[in-house]
Amino acid sequence: MNYLKIYFLNLYSYVLFAIYSAVCIPLLVLFIALMSLMLGHRRAMKLVRRAIAWWSRGIMLVPYPFVKVRYENNSGDETGEPYIFVCNHRSFSDGFLMAVLPVEGVQVVNIWPFRIPVIGFFARLAGYLNIRMMQTEEFFEKALGLLRDNVSIIFFPEGTRSGSRKMGNFHSSAFRLALKSKAPIVPLCISGSENIPPKGSLLMRPGTIRVRRLQAITWSEYNEWSLYTLKNKVREIIGNELALMEQGA
């Protein structure tokens, strides 16, 4: 029975995803093209990122009720200022989950999303960043410019999906940017996505994905920390919260 449920979930979800994308993507491209002609670059980019969030939210609804997504805001931070979001990374689906955040955001992604026809097109259009495809100075210049324009930056500092509940080591780019920009750092915890789908497979399992936003770490709190201390403190905060989430808290 469990295998039948998994089979039905995947057949149902991928067929519905194909239909949804075939209808939605041309409409989004047309909408973006028309708005770009009418608006300035900054407002057009804002609409592009909003359109991507709409599309991603629709994708999250495709496997419902077999897969449920819960956004838990435990931060109390709704000031509207730009943040540096730092998130653990378990599955291909994690990038879509960032649509739950009520901010205009740009993700720092690996090389492979830019190579996927539809996803790569939208990632480039939205100004997503990849430090491996850019000179370091150019990366930080663009990221700092986005923060000045009130656009949040979303990092997955493990660099690749862990594929399990074990969290990998963090790279330093998010924390170098924080020290340069003095922006608040918001830890994000994703639990439950490791099998939706698992690493190396497209076969989704039923389950509940929880995205928990924690309280921001402000410049006044971390301004005296070294890069190494900052990176490891944030990793420790996320790791401790994930342990609580997986205990049912």
Question: Residue 105's domain spans which residues?
Answer: 66-246
Give all strands of the β-sheet with 105-107 in edge-to-edge order. Answer: 67-73, 207-213, 185-191, 84-87, 152-155, 105-107
The pLDDT of residue 188 is 97
Q: What is the mean pLDDT of residues 116-122?
A: 74
Taking the C-alpha atoms of residue 116 and residue 123, their distance in angstroms, rounded to an integer, is 10
Beta bridge partners of 69: 209
Residue 75 is assigned to a structural domain of this protein = yes
Which pLDDT band, with edges at 50, 70 and 90, does 44 fall under? confident
How many structural domains are present in the chain? 1
Q: Is the pTM of this model over 0.95?
A: no
Residue 239 is assigned to a structural domain of this protein = yes
Q: Which residue has the higher pLDDT, 49 or 220?
A: 220
Residue 14 is assigned to a structural domain of this protein = no
Residue 93 is assigned to a structural domain of this protein = yes
The pLDDT of residue 220 is 95
Q: In the predicted model, is pLDDT for residue 163 greater than 70?
A: no
Which of the residue ranges 69-73, 158-162, 245-249 would you say has the lowest mean pLDDT?
Answer: 158-162
Residue 125 is assigned to a structural domain of this protein = yes
Residue 22 is assigned to a structural domain of this protein = no
- List Cα–Cα distances, 75 to 7, 88, 157, 203, 217, in angstroms: 38, 17, 20, 33, 10
Residue 221 is assigned to a structural domain of this protein = yes
**Per-residue pLDDT tens digits for 184-215:** 999 999 999 988 888 778 888 899 999 999 99
Q: What is the mean pLDDT of residues 162-178?
A: 88
